[in-house]
Structure 1
Amino acid sequence: MVAVLTSTEAVRDGSLFGLRPRLWLMTFGHLVIDSNPALLFALVPVIVAHLRIDFAQAGALVTVLLMTSSITQPLFGLLQDRRPAFPTASLGLLVAGSAMAATGFATTFAQMVALVIVAGLGVAAFHPQAVAQAARASAGRKEWGIAVFFTGGSTGTGIMSLAIVPLAAAFGPGATLVALVPAVVAAALFARATSISSTSIPAMTGASTMTSSVRAVGFPLSMLLSVSILRSAVLTAYLAFLPALATYRSGSLAVGGAALAAFLFAGSAGALLGGAAAHVYGSSRVVTASLVTGMLALLPVPWLPASLLVPWMFVAGILFFASEAQVTALAQRLLPAFVGIASSLMMGVGLGIGNVGAFVAGAVADLRGIPFALASITLVLAPAIAASLAYAVSMRKLRA
């Protein structure tokens, strides 16, 4: 780890840990944008009681939010590659923050659905431009730079998971207004930074060129997409129902928020660990190892006593999240001229399709309970492991 942090190529003065200031700004924006969904994740038990909905509907809300925020990302990725100066990241921060701030005032399920759709579009608008700029700011250390960028997302979700519970207890549902503050600050910083940097980035043109590039790496890219989809199915199920599992087991909403926060903060550590390991062993090996160890760590979670949930989820999170950034880094290497599209396929389409995991887990939980639902969805990581191995084999054949 020390070697990775200190062995840096020449970068401009003012770098931190060998990484450019722009990368840290993108990471801060990622922290802010991904703090928004935590307002929904952490308050699922409250929402179920307040709106008088069942677990399937609660899972549907999470699915709608994450589906909208991900499946539409390729559209914004195409816009980023062709119009890099357009401030999609800044606008996304404002739209997502405003919509999630308003969720505390929703009184019907329909209102909540409308708000999470708007918020999801804001989140989708942010990611392609931010991750493309993060990749460029990483210079020749993309594995590490993208890993740092990803830590912002899980850290932001973890911080909000911890913060919103006491705020909601003190101020009621209107505490969701807190989402506006970081959104406005980050949007202002991004608007200025993006306008300065994007003027020097050439716009990509030629749909045929993009299509031919994708076709040339079709199989390995599809395997990475499969990993992203299956991994996301497990992730969204835990994001939606881990707080509820911990809350009902312990009788405390705070324990539910703490378990989710531990999982997400560990995600930040896992992303950094994955980036460091990828620098030494390669991203492909890190992805496979993370999927195997993550599945083994998550399988016993539904039956653990409440006292063990928080520390166990921290360890499981490190193992599970080590692969997240590396899947995107591998996709960017396959499509170096279209990093916006590559990133949005993994972070967008992959997450979007995988988001059905929350809905499926909710439906199963209504029939068999949350523990059975989470254990069942965790087994989806098995075919993800197979896909990661197929990717590795296909890349060896391409290089031969």
Structure 2
Amino acid sequence: MDVYQGAVAALVPFFVAELAYTYAAASGIVLAASLLSSVAQPFFGALTDRHPIPWLLPVSTVFGGLGVALSGIGGSYALTLLFVALSGIGVAAYHPESARVARVASKGSHRSMGWFSLGGNVGFALAPLLVTVVIASGGLRWSPLLILPALVGSVLTLPVLRALEKAPRAEGGQGAAEGRDDWVSFVRLSLAVVCRSIAFVGLSTFIAFHAREQTDGTTAAGTAALFVLYLGGAVGTVVGSNLAHRWDRVTVVSMSYLVTVAAVAGVVFVPGPAIYLFVALTSIGLYVPFSLQVTLAQDYLPTRVGTAGGITLGLTVSVGGLTSPVIGTIADATSLRTALMPLIVMPALSWLLFRTLPEPAVPQRLLGDRGEDATLNAVGTSTEHSRL
């Protein structure tokens, strides 16, 4: 599914090249994909809190792929916006239910949730390569071929549905709810994720153009930068889930955001091939928190894990797309480097919001047979730590 979130940004340079869109118009496509997804994901999250809907996994996967596949043959800017918006709805339907299922399967394990998030990040990383191979070969008219990963992915979810039918219904719905919801901490976490999203979506939308300017390269140079941005996310997710077994999640996330400030500054200001190093560091820094923020959100709202997943994976992540037209407008009026400068501030704001958050405990029903080590990691780390 996350192939299609990455595919929208990967398609932007081709829309600019073939259809002569401005930066602002091209970023509007990212906005269209994000807007409906932003509005719809909390709705789907609340729905799955009341009634688990496993069949959403294959259906939403196909829906997300179909919108992207049709976007290149829309024939008009309005139809392109419509199709990527429909893809955004598919993404919105997928994430809350998939996060709920992953939470059940992982029994609250940070490492398992990290592997779950890794799958999505690998999809992000593959998106620029997939789009480049297809669209560079035949132009936007070949975009219907991009439906193929969705068809494969939907088939792969079918064994999961069969396993869920046989498993006892211990999670999802009101009967499984336990614990007290910490809305204050959840709102602060959500604001931090919004700042992270602005930085990541802004870079993913314009990094291909910026890398070409910084290296005097071709379209391939831009595609390489986008690939590095997404691939670094896969690395960061695994690193983050492993670090959370040594330190508490809030400390790991806050440290990562602080380091990312310097990395984003390097992306914006350092010329030449070194930009790829800073793109990789930025991506790792922004993705170390990724799966940890999902489990934190679910532990802050233990009675509303679908809502927590929908907002953390959906609304707050998609909000970054709302700022892309602003960045594009500034770039058209000044320069792309000037437009990207505010992104340096975003991880700093995330760090400020995170540094004094409490570390919640994983609900006991999820610990199951994870043993003493899991209990120490999930509960023992809730003691007060010094923050950066």
TM range, smaller chain: 0.7 to 0.9
Residue 73 of structure 1 aligns with an amino acid whose one-letter code is Q
CA distance in 2, matches of 1:87, 1:378: 40
Residue 153 of structure 2 aligns with an amino acid whose one-letter code is A
Aligned match of 2:197: 232
3-state SS in 1 of match to 2:107: coil
Residue 318 of structure 1 aligns with an amino acid whose one-letter code is I
Q: How does 1:197-216 map to 2 (within 5 A)?
A: 197-198=164-165, 200-201=168-169, 203-205=172-174, 213-214=180-181
Does the CA-based 8 Å contact 1:84-1:201 persist in structure 2? Answer: no
1:186 and 2:153 matched = yes
1:385 and 2:351 matched = yes
Distance 1:71 1:279, change over 3 A: farther
Aligned match of 1:375: 341
3-state SS in 2 of match to 1:100: helix
Q: 1:131 aligns with which of 84, 93, 99?
A: 99
Does the CA-based 8 Å contact 1:270-1:318 persist in structure 2? Answer: yes
Aligned match of 1:26: none
Q: 1:157 aligns with which of 94, 117, 124?
A: 124
Aligned match of 1:245: 210
Cα-to-partner distance string for 1:29-49 (whole Å, 9 max, x where unaligned): xxxx11113332123222123
Does the CA-based 8 Å contact 2:202-2:327 persist in structure 1? Answer: yes
Q: CA deviation at 1:273?
A: 0.5
Does the CA-based 8 Å contact 2:118-2:237 persist in structure 1? Answer: yes
CA distance in 1, matches of 2:241, 2:355: 19
CA distance in 1, matches of 2:271, 2:92: 37
1:119 and 2:84 matched = no
Aligned match of 2:59: 91
Q: How does 1:38-187 map to 2 (within 5 A)?
A: 38-140=6-108, 142-187=109-154
Does the CA-based 8 Å contact 2:5-2:91 persist in structure 1? Answer: no
Does the CA-based 8 Å contact 2:249-2:359 persist in structure 1? Answer: no
Structure 2 spans left out of the alignment, 5+ residues: 362-379
Aligned match of 1:331: 297
CA distance in 1, matches of 2:113, 2:21: 38
CA distance in 1, matches of 2:326, 2:180: 35
CA distance in 2, matches of 1:300, 1:56: 24
CA distance in 1, matches of 2:301, 2:183: 11
Q: CA deviation at 1:155?
A: 1.2
Does the CA-based 8 Å contact 2:331-2:338 persist in structure 1? Answer: yes
The number of residue pairs the alignment matches comes to 361
Q: Could you tell me the TM-score, scaled by structure 2's length? A: 0.86
Residue 173 of structure 2 aligns with an amino acid whose one-letter code is M
Q: How does 1:9-20 map to 2 (within 5 A)?
A: none
Q: CA deviation at 1:237?
A: 0.2
CA distance in 2, matches of 1:280, 1:40: 36
Residue 104 of structure 1 aligns with an amino acid whose one-letter code is G
Does the CA-based 8 Å contact 1:223-1:390 persist in structure 2? Answer: no
Give me the identity figure in percent.
25
CA distance in 2, matches of 1:37, 1:218: 28
Does the CA-based 8 Å contact 1:293-1:320 persist in structure 2? Answer: no
Q: CA deviation at 1:148?
A: 1.3
Residue 231 of structure 1 aligns with an amino acid whose one-letter code is R
Residue 288 of structure 1 aligns with an amino acid whose one-letter code is S
Q: How does 1:28-47 map to 2 (within 5 A)?
A: 33-47=1-15
Distance 1:60 1:288, change over 3 A: same
Structure 1 spans left out of the alignment, 5+ residues: 1-32
Q: 2:183 aligns with which of 194, 198, 218?
A: 218
CA distance in 1, matches of 2:247, 2:3: 31
Cα-to-partner distance string for 1:60-94 (whole Å, 9 max, x where unaligned): 21122123223311111122222214411111101
CA distance in 2, matches of 1:201, 1:178: 38
Deviates more, 1:266-275 or 1:66-75: 66-75
Q: 1:353 aligns with which of 295, 302, 319?
A: 319
Deviates more, 1:115-124 or 1:387-396: 387-396
Does the CA-based 8 Å contact 1:302-1:370 persist in structure 2? Answer: no
CA distance in 2, matches of 1:45, 1:374: 17
Q: CA deviation at 1:346?
A: 1.0
Over aligned residue pairs, what C-alpha RMSD do you find? Answer: 2.4
Q: Could you tell me the TM-score, scaled by structure 1's length? A: 0.84
